[in-house]
Chains A and B, each alone.
Chain A
Amino acid sequence: MSIEAKAHGELYDKVHAHALLKQMLLIRRFEEKSAELYSAGRIRGFLHLYIGEEAVAVGAMQALTAEDAIVATYREHGHALARGMPAGAVMAEMYGKANGCSRGRGGSMHMFDARRRFYGGYAIVAGGLPIAVGLALADKMQGRRRVTACFFGEGAAAEGEFHESLNLAALWKLPVLFLCENNLYAMGTALSRSESETDMHLKAQSYRVPAEPVDGMDVLAVEEATRRAAAQVRRGDGPYFLEIRTYRFRAHSMADPDLYRAKAEIQEWKTRDPIALFTARLKAEGLLGGAELEAMEAEVANDIGWAVEEAEAGPWEPVEDLCRDVYTPAAAASGPAGE
């Protein structure tokens, strides 16, 4: 989509552009707050921040309908928020509270929302790909024209399941949209130090999956490519693969001292901050005024304030309920939730 072409006075595009910016801002500020709360001991365990990669989830999510399914990774706060999961439920989950989106059983790495067909964060690299293949298989077998969008990092390409899943999805022409978030590092290991072929989309093409690279710091580029890819998947033409090139500005997790990346490299990527780039672009095109941005920041801050309040006020699951939800209670056994 060329925003320039549509920018001249068309209200929808301004509204849409503002929505994109606001979602990215929400994720950015939400995660900044999360890092603070982690340091304050309110959030435990692992915390993998998405800061720098916001344009990927926000851009890609625009192409998906409420009927589509999402499979994500352990770095999935951004995807959850971009999918429309309430910030309070996401924050409460990180607090481990019973009003969290997974009742405090999942935490930062395992966010779920049946109503929004958000099938979770998976913390074993590439472990979500076969799940996405299966969700798509179910859709195909039941004649539903839905897309299953599967997010994963470039590190997944080193796992066998990446190759098995691309092969099976292509072989069976399954409606999977593979969204590879190539942030160049698998924890501390640079892509070039772990892969003989560093162009992810070429790997996909070897399975006869149509694939292309996308600038992941440009939210409109991500949206445009994902809309095109999702439309093709929805037509029943089989899977599509986008290699979305991005960068995480923070360390792998809160426990990571980030000793393996050059400061200059990080600084270089920060000049392509997706939020700063998009903000500048909208301002230059006259689609965003300083007061509008301030108002947006204020709304986002307010939303996050509420989310934290909801998490703080949320109840703890009683310890007597420790072993609930290991098996499905007989009363709920008529069919899987969310279907």
Chain B
Amino acid sequence: MARMTYREAVRAAMSAAMSADPRVFLMGEDVGRYGGAFAVSLGMLEEFGPERIRDTPLSESTFVGAGIGAALGGMRPIVEVMTINFSLLALDQVLNNAAALRHMSGGQFSVPLVVRMATGGGRGLAAQHSHSLEGWYAHIPGIKVLTPATVADARGLLLAALAEPDPVFVFEHAALYSLEGESEDGTPMEIGRAACRRAGRDVSLLTYGGSLGKCLAAAEQLAGEGVEAEVIDLRTLRPLDTGAIVESVSKTRHAVVVDEAWRTGSFAAEVSAVIMEQAFDELDAPVARVCSAEVPMPYAKHLEDAALPQPESIVNAARGLL
């Protein structure tokens, strides 16, 4: 057990993988000399050299595609796309190549690629730098989608991603990088397992990534009112641990899905549908969703706060079910 920040946990996982396996390398915008836009790779250029810590031009589509090609060629690339907003420029490579290559080649080629990027809002960055589009990625068969919400997961899930034979996308909520916590000894975690972050019997708060902290705060507040909320951290959006969702909802009979994405077509809608399909008879009330308001993210703080899920809105949604 070691105490570290979320960014240090990501760095620890990358450094460990690079030390253990010469095929692993990191490339992306400003990952080298700058040290990473979020200082995740700070110091890695000095440790591993410019061959393995590669600064790229602002060519998202091509450096993600080059990551795919390098994976085909026997390497284990980690591609850092600075933010999810920029990742849209590479979406074609993700959807049409990374995700499809194994299938459309009849199983001849695998793409052992890890793509990491920052996601999420809440930092005053307005409409073009505040997206939570990991649900879009989770729509795509052929890739895996991880959303670590804790320091331990930031390290353990990334290590697991680096051992996968297929493309894995890791979404790191930008508000979490300075979060401190305990990290375990650096063993890869199992992909596809949700975690119960707080046990409770009255209502399930189902969430992932940057909304976990808000759900835990909401659960604390609800506890003061005598409501015991269970907080389930999905951790992996694809493959989704539907068993854990069903198990929790079957126990509490009430579900609130919390997702920073826009409500329409959100990943929360997918979770809600899973509950309808697999646990309809267990419910005592309709599934509730707390998502972002349907608006391009505004800049002013009070408006941004109002647009995003907050502990208060989660508490209100839970109360509404009980």
A residues at B contact (CB < 8 Å)? 69, 100-106, 110, 112-114, 119-120, 122-124, 127, 129-139, 141-142, 148, 160-161, 164-165, 167-168, 171, 324-328, 332-333, 335-339
- Report yes or no: B72 in contact with A168, Cβ–Cβ below 8 A: no
Instruction: Name the residue of chain A whose CB is nearest to the CB of B106.
Output: A103
Contact of A130 among B65, B103, B164, B166 (CB under 8 A): B65
- Report yes or no: A120 in contact with B105, Cβ–Cβ below 8 A: yes
Residue B187 is within 8 A (CB to CB) of chain A in the complex:
no
Residue B67 is within 8 A (CB to CB) of chain A in the complex:
yes
Q: Please give the distance in Å from B4's CB to the nearest CB on chain A.
A: 30
Using known A-B contacts A168-B59, A336-B111, determine if residue A131 contacts B74 with beta carbons closer than 8 Å.
no
Q: Which 5 A-B pairs have the closest CB atoms?
A: A134-B69, A130-B65, A138-B73, A103-B106, A164-B62
Contact of A137 among B61, B70, B93, B104 (CB under 8 A): B70
Question: Which residues of chain B come closer than 8 Å to A130, judged between CB atoms?
Answer: 61-66, 68-69, 93
Using known A-B contacts A127-B93, A129-B62, A167-B57, determine if residue A106 contacts B106 with beta carbons closer than 8 Å.
yes
- Report yes or no: B70 in contact with A336, Cβ–Cβ below 8 A: no
Question: Which residues of chain A come closer than 8 Å to B51, judged between CB atoms?
Answer: 141
In the complex, what distance in Å separates the CA atom of A328 from the CA atom of B165? 6
Query: Which size class do B's interface residues fall under?
Result: 35 or more
Tell which of B64, B96, B104 has the most Cβ of chain A within 10 Å: B104
Scan residues 99-120 of chain B and give those whose CB is less than 8 A from a CB of chain A: 101-112
- Report yes or no: A138 in contact with B59, Cβ–Cβ below 8 A: no
- Report yes or no: A141 in contact with B75, Cβ–Cβ below 8 A: yes
Using known A-B contacts A102-B108, A141-B51, determine if residue A161 contacts B72 with beta carbons closer than 8 Å.
no
- Given A103-B106, A135-B70, A142-B75, output 7 extra A-B contacts at Cβ < 8 Å: A102-B106, A112-B109, A122-B97, A141-B70, A167-B59, A326-B142, A333-B165
In the complex, what distance in Å separates the CA atom of A139 from the CA atom of B75? 9
Instruction: Name the residue of chain B whose CB is nearest to the CB of A120.
Output: B105
Q: Please give the distance in Å from B280's CB to the nearest CB on chain A.
A: 25
Question: Which residues of chain A come closer than 8 Å to B63, judged between CB atoms?
Answer: 130, 168
In the complex, what distance in Å separates the CA atom of A164 from the CA atom of B56? 10
In the complex, what distance in Å separates the CA atom of A336 from the CA atom of B67? 14
Instruction: Name the residue of chain B whose CB is nearest to the CB of A112.
Output: B105
Instruction: Name the residue of chain B whose CB is nearest to the CB of A104.
Output: B106
Question: Which residues of chain A come closer than 8 Å to B70, judged between CB atoms?
Answer: 134-135, 137-138, 141
- Please name 14 pairs of A and B residues whose Cβ atoms are closer than 8 Å in the assembled complex, sorted by A: A102-B104, A114-B109, A130-B65, A131-B97, A133-B69, A141-B75, A161-B62, A165-B65, A326-B141, A333-B165, A336-B109, A336-B111, A337-B109, A338-B109
Using known A-B contacts A141-B51, A168-B59, determine if residue A333 contacts B107 with beta carbons closer than 8 Å.
no
Contact of A161 among B65, B68, B164 (CB under 8 A): B65
In the complex, what distance in Å separates the CA atom of A116 from the CA atom of B105? 13
Contact of B107 among A103, A110, A113, A119 (CB under 8 A): A103
Question: Which residues of chain B come closer than 8 Å to A339, judged between CB atoms?
Answer: 72-74
- Report yes or no: B102 in contact with A326, Cβ–Cβ below 8 A: yes
In the complex, what distance in Å separates the CA atom of A333 from the CA atom of B102? 12
Tell which of A101, A105, A324 has the most Cβ of chain B within 10 Å: A105
In the complex, what distance in Å separates the CA atom of A324 from the CA atom of B65? 24
Q: Mark B261-277, 1 if CB is under 8 A from A, else 0.
A: 00000000000000000
B residues at A contact (CB < 8 Å)? 25, 51, 56-57, 59, 61-75, 77, 92-93, 96-97, 101-112, 141-142, 164-166
- Report yes or no: A105 in contact with B71, Cβ–Cβ below 8 A: no
Q: Please give the distance in Å from B287's CB to the nearest CB on chain A.
A: 28
- Report yes or no: A325 in contact with B107, Cβ–Cβ below 8 A: yes
- Report yes or no: A133 in contact with B57, Cβ–Cβ below 8 A: no
Question: Which residues of chain A come closer than 8 Å to B25, judged between CB atoms?
Answer: 141
In the complex, what distance in Å separates the CA atom of A336 from the CA atom of B25? 16
In the complex, what distance in Å separates the CA atom of A114 from the CA atom of B74? 13
- Report yes or no: B108 in contact with A135, Cβ–Cβ below 8 A: no
Instruction: Name the residue of chain A whose CB is nearest to the CB of B79.
Output: A134
In the complex, what distance in Å separates the CA atom of A127 from the CA atom of B69? 11
In the complex, what distance in Å separates the CA atom of A142 from the CA atom of B25? 12
In the complex, what distance in Å separates the CA atom of A328 from the CA atom of B97? 15
- Report yes or no: A120 in contact with B101, Cβ–Cβ below 8 A: yes
Tell which of B92, B104, B106 has the most Cβ of chain A within 10 Å: B106
Q: Please give the distance in Å from B32's CB to the nearest CB on chain A.
A: 13
In the complex, what distance in Å separates the CA atom of A102 from the CA atom of B75? 23
Instruction: Name the residue of chain A whose CB is nearest to the CB of B95.
Output: A124
- Report yes or no: A138 in contact with B69, Cβ–Cβ below 8 A: yes
In the complex, what distance in Å separates the CA atom of A148 from the CA atom of B70? 12
- Report yes or no: A336 in contact with B112, Cβ–Cβ below 8 A: yes
